[in-house]
Structure 1
Amino acid sequence: MVTLVLCIDREGSVDSATPAVGDDVVTDLVTDVGIEDPEDSRVNSLLESLKVARDLRAEGSEAVVAVVSCAGEGVDADRVLAEQVDDLVARYDPTGAVVVVDSAEDEQTVPIVESRVRVDAVDRVIVRQARDIESTYYLLKQVLGDEELRKTVLVPLGVILLAVPALLAATESVTVTVSLVAAVIGVFFLYKGLGVGDLIARTPSAVQRAFYAGRVSVVTYVVGLGLALVGGFVGVVGATRLDDPLLMTMEFAYESVPWFALGALAAATGRLLDEWLENDEVRSSFLNLPFGVVAIGFVVRGFAGFFLERATVIGSVRVPTIAVGAVTVDGFPLTPGMRLAVFVGAGLCISLLGVGVASYVSATTVEELDQGV
C-alpha cells in the first residue's frame, strides 16, 4: 500500500523538471528554491512534504514524496498538472494521497488529484510569522465567496461609504453625519438581530391562515394595535407640555400605559379564546397573561404618578368621605408614597388573582405552576 505525498506548486516557482520524485530529489529542490529566494513559502511546503513522508514511514506505511508544478493560468496549466498526476498514479499505483499546499491557488487544484486517486488529507502549510495574515486572507476569501454574506455585509458597507460623503455635502456637519450613519447601522443591526425580515415575510401567510381559520385573535390584535397607537398619541401630547426629559418620560408613561395595557389585554384575550376554541382547554400560561398585563400596567402607572406628583405635575388623589351606617370616615388625600403603595399593592393582588384563576381552571396547584408543570 503506497501513499503518495504530493506537494503542489501551482505558481510554477519550482524551476525543475516535474514531477520530481524521491526524498533526495525533493531535498535538492529545497536547497535550490531556498538559495534562489529564501523568503519563498515553497521552501516550507517542500520541507513539510518530506516530514509527512518520514512520519508515514515511521508508522509502517510506504510513502513516496513527489512535487508537481505548472506555470501559467487557466485550463492549459491545469491540464499540465493533471498529466503529471496521471504519470505518478500510473508509475506507483498509490492507494491514497496526502496533498501539501501553501496557498489558496494550490488548494483549488485538489479536485484534480481527487479525480485520480483518493485524497486522505490536505496539509495546508502556513508560515508561522504570517499565520494571522494568512488566516485573515482565507476568512476574506470565504466571505467574498458566500453570496449571503456578501449581501448582508458588503452591500450595506458599500451603501454607508457612499452615503457618508453625500450626507457631509448635504448637512455640512460631521456630527449630524456621524449620528445619521450610526442610527442607520443601529437600525440595520436590530433588523437583522431580531429577525424582522423573517417576521415580515411570514406575516402575510400567517394572517391569511388566521382569516381562513376564523381566529378571534385577528380582530383583537387589530384592536390592540389601535389602542397602542392611541396610547402613544396621548402620551406624546402629554409629554410635550413639559420641558424636563425625565418628567417628559414619566408623563408619557403615565398617560400611555393604560392604553398600552388595554391593547395588550385585548390581544391576550383573543389569543386565549383561540386556544380555548382549538383545544377545548386553556393552558395556565394563557390564563395568567391577561392578569399579568393589567398588573404591570398598575405598577408602571403607580411609579410614574409618584414622580409626577412629587414634581407637582399632577395633583394628589383624595379618598372620598365614606359613610357606612352610623360610621363615617372623612375623606383625606393620599401622599405620593401611599399612592404608590396602593398601585403596587393592586398590581400584586391582580397578579396573585391570575395565578389563582390559572391554578383553579387548569386543575393544578400553585406549587406545580412554580415548577413549570
Structure 2
Amino acid sequence: MVRSLVLTVDRDNDLGVKAGIRGPVIGRKATLTAALRLGIADPEESDTNAILGALHHHDRLVENADAHDEVEIALLTGDVRVGPRSDRAIASQLDEVIQEFQPDVAILVTDGADDEASIPIITSRVRVEHVEKIIVRQSKGIESTYYYIAKAIEDPRWRAKLLVPISVFLMIIGLGLIVPNGGVLIGAMPLIAGIWMFAKGLGWEEQLERLMLDLRESATGGIFSSMLWAISIFSIILGFVTSYQVFTNMEYVEYSNLRIWAVAIDEALQWIVVSTFAFTLSIGVLRWTEGSFTGRSILLIGFGTVVYTIAEATLDVIRMGLSGSNYILDFETVSNDWGLPLFTIALYYLLRTIIESIAKEDETSPTNKFWGV
C-alpha cells in the first residue's frame, strides 16, 4: 500500500489575494473549485495551469493505482511577501497536510522556479518522488513577446526584478556622462555587475540573507546601535573642538565676529552632519531589530542631507559676502553654488514618495483577508 500526495504550491499566495481562498486546500473537489475560482478571477494567472496540472497528475495516478493504494491532492499557499514569511506559511500548511494524510511519497507540480524554491521545505518532510513543471505553450511572435514584457512590468513581483537593474544601468550611464570624470562610474558598472554575478554563482546571496535575518533576530542590532550612538556623541565633541580651534586661531583675529562664527559653523558642520546621521541610523537599527522599521530614519537622513547642502551653500555665500567679495548672480555661479541643494531636494521628494507609497501598500495589503473555499 502506497499513499501518494500530489502537491502544488502557490508561493506568492495569488489564490488568497485573487480568489479569497486560504490554504491548505485538500481534496480533488476543493482543489478543482480553487482552480476555477482563480481562473475566473484572473484568466492569465499561471498558477491556474499548475493546479490543473496537479489535478491531471492526480487523476492519472488514481487510474493506475492498485486497489490498496491511496492518492490525495493538496494545494499550499504562501504569502504575498515572498521569502521567509511565505516559506513559513508553506511549511505550516504542509505539516497540517502530512498529519492528516500521512503520505509515503509526494509528487510536486509547479509552474516555475519561484514555486520550486519551496522544494527544500517539502523534501525535509516527505520524500519527493517526482517534480513536474507545467509550461504553457505560447506564440513566439513579436506581438506576444511585447505582451508578456508589458504584463511583467505590470506584475509587482517581476516589476522590481526587471525595471530596477535597467534603471540603475541607465542612471549610472547618465551620471557618468554628466559628472566630470564620470568615466569611473561607467567603468564601475561592469565591475559591480561582475561582482553580483560572482556572488550569485557562489550562493553568497542566500548566505547574506541568512546573516541579515540572524542579525535581526539576535541582540547584535543593539551593539550596532550603541556603536552609532558613540559615533554620534564623539562627532558632537569633535564639532565643538573644531569650532573652539577656529575661535582661538590667530589667523582669524582680524575677522569680524559674524565672519568668525560663519567660519566656525562651516568647519563644524560636517561633524554635526555625521553626528545626526549616526543618531538617525541608530534609531533605524533599533526599529529594524524590533521589526517596526517604517523608513522614517531614511527620510531623516535624506532631510539631513538637504539641510546640509543648503547650509553649506549658504555659509559659502555668507563668507564670500563678509570677505568683501561681490556675489555675481550669473547662471554659472548660481548653478555651481545651488545646483547640489536643488538636486538633493528633488531626490528627497522622490525618496519620500517611494517610502510613503510602500508604507501605504503595507497598510492596505489584503494578505490576511480570506473567506475560504
How would you bin the TM-score normalised by the shorter chain?
0.3 to 0.5
Q: Identify which of structures 1 and 2 has the higher relative contact order when contacts are C-alpha pairs closer than 8 Å and 6+ apart.
A: 2
**Higher CA-based Rg:** 1
